[in-house]
C-alpha cells in the first residue's frame, strides 16, 4: 500500500466515525508513523511498510473510538515545545499559551526569578517558563504522582531544570511543601463546574482526567480561594499571581483576590475577548 492510499483509507475511517477534521487527523497519524512530511504523503509511488500500515490501523481505531489524537500519538506541542502526554494529564491547549505570555510579561523586571507552577500536569507552563527564562528557578507542584511523572519525563527530555513537588494546593500545608518564596505563582487550576460536564466534547469529558478539569458546583472558585490563601506565604512582596480562569467567573475571581488583600487584581481577555487570565499582586510593603 502506498502512503497516499494509507492516508485516504485512514481519512475515510475517521470520517465514517464522525471525527471532526478527519483528513488533518489522518495526516497527523500517518506523518507520525511514517516520518514523512505532509507533501510526501501525497506522492503516488511512496510505499508504506506493512509495519507502518499496521500501526496506522491501530492508531486510527483508537481515534475513531473517541480517544483524543494527542493521547493516541502520545505527544502535543505547546509554546514551541514538544511534550509527551498521557491520560494522566490534560492536553495542553493553545489558550494556555496566553497565560504563559502574561506570566513572562510579569517576570520581566525580576532577575533570576523564582516561579511556582501550581497544578502543573504535563509541565507545560513550567517548562515553557523555564525555556524562555533560563535564569529562573522553577518549581512545579501537582497532587497527582502520575502527572508529575509525565512532567518530569518532559523536563528531562527537554533538558530543562524544574523541581517537581507532589502536594495538594487545597490543603493549608501546601505552602510548607514548596520552598519559599516566589516572584510569581502561576496556575491553570481545575475550573469547570461539574454541572457543565455533560455539555463538554466527548474527547474531553470521557478521556481527560476529571480531577484536573472539574470543581464542585458549590464552590467553583475553590482553587482561586486557595491560591489567595497561600499568597502571603508563597509570594514575595510585589510578587505576582497569574491564573487561567473560567470565562464566567473572571469578575468574581478578581473581586475575591482583591478582597483577600492582593492589589491590582484584574482579569484579562483572550484573543476571542473572553475572560481568560486573572492577575493580582502581593502589595510591595505588606
**Residues annotated as binding site?**
119-123, 142, 188-191
Q: Read off the C-alpha cell for 83.
A: 511534550
Task: Enumerate the known binding-site residues for substrate.
Answer: 188-191
Peptide bond into 181 cis (omega under 30): yes
Catalogue the E-assigned strands of the chain. Answer: 75-78, 81-84, 114-118, 137-142, 162-166, 182-187, 192-193, 214-215, 235-244, 263-269, 275-281
DSSP-assigned beta bridge partners for residue 117: 140, 186
| Interatomic CA distance for residues 268 and 261, integer angstroms | 19
Task: Enumerate the known binding-site residues for S-adenosyl-L-methionine.
Answer: 119-123, 142, 188
- Nearest to residue 164, comparing CAs of 191, 186, 144, 193? 144
Cα 147 vs. chain centroid, distance in angstroms? 11
| Interatomic CA distance for residues 12 and 34, integer angstroms | 19
Residue 90 and residue 81 in contact, taking contact as beta carbons nearer than 8 Å:
no
Residue length, the chain? 286
| Interatomic CA distance for residues 147 and 42, integer angstroms | 38
For the residues of 47-103, what is the DSSP string, one character each?
BPPHHHHHHHHHHHHHHHTT--HHHHHTEEEETTEEEE--TTSPPP-HHHHHHHHHH
Q: Read off the C-alpha cell for 97.
A: 499559551
Amino acid at each position: 500500500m502506498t502512503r497516499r492510499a494509507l492516508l485516504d483509507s485512514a481519512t475515510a475511517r475517521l470520517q465514517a466515525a464522525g471525527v471532526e477534521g478527519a483528513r488533518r487527523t489522518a495526516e497527523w497519524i500517518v506523518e507520525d508513523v511514517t516520518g514523512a512530511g505532509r507533501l510526501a504523503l501525497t506522492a503516488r509511488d511512496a510505499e508504506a511498510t506493512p509495519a507502518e500500515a499496521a500501526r496506522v490501523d491501530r492508531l486510527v481505531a483508537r481515534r475513531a473510538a473517541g480517544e483524543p489524537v494527542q493521547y493516541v500519538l502520545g505527544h502535543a506541542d505547546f509554546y514551541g515545545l514538544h511534550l509527551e502526554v498521557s491520560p494522566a494529564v490534560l492536553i495542553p491547549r493553545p489558550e494556555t499559551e496566553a497565560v504563559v505570555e502574561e506570566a513572562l510579561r510579569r517576570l520581566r523586571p525580576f532577575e533570576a526569578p523564582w516561579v511556582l507552577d501550581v497544578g502543573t500536569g504535563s509541565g507545560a507552563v513550567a517548562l515553557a517558563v523555564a525555556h524562555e527564562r533560563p535564569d529562573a528557578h522553577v518549581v512545579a507542584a501537582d497532587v497527582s504522582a502520575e502527572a508529575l511523572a509525565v512532567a518530569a519525563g518532559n523536563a528531562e527530555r527537554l533538558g530543562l531544570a524544574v523541581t517537581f513537588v507532589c502536594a495538594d494546593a487545597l490543603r493549608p500545608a501546601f505552602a510548607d511543601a514548596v520552598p519559599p518564596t516566589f516572584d510569581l505563582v502561576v496556575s491553570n487550576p481545575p475550573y469547570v463546574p461539574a454541572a457543565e460536564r455533560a455539555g463538554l466534547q466527548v474527547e474531553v469529558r470521557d478521556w481527560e482526567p476529571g480531577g484536573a478539569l472539574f470543581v464542585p458546583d458549590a464552590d467553583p472558585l475553590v482553587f482561586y480561594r486557595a491560591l489567595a490563601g497561600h499568597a502571603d506565604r508563597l509570594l514575595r512582596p510585589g510578587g505576582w499571581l497569574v491564573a487561567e480562569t473560567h470565562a464566567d467567573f473572571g469578575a468574581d475571581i478578581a473581586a475575591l483576590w482583591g478582597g483577600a488583600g492582593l492589589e491590582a487584581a484584574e482579569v484579562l481577555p483572550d484573543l476571542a475577548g473572553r475572560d481568560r487570565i486573572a492577575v493580582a499582586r502581593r502589595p510591595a510593603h505588606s
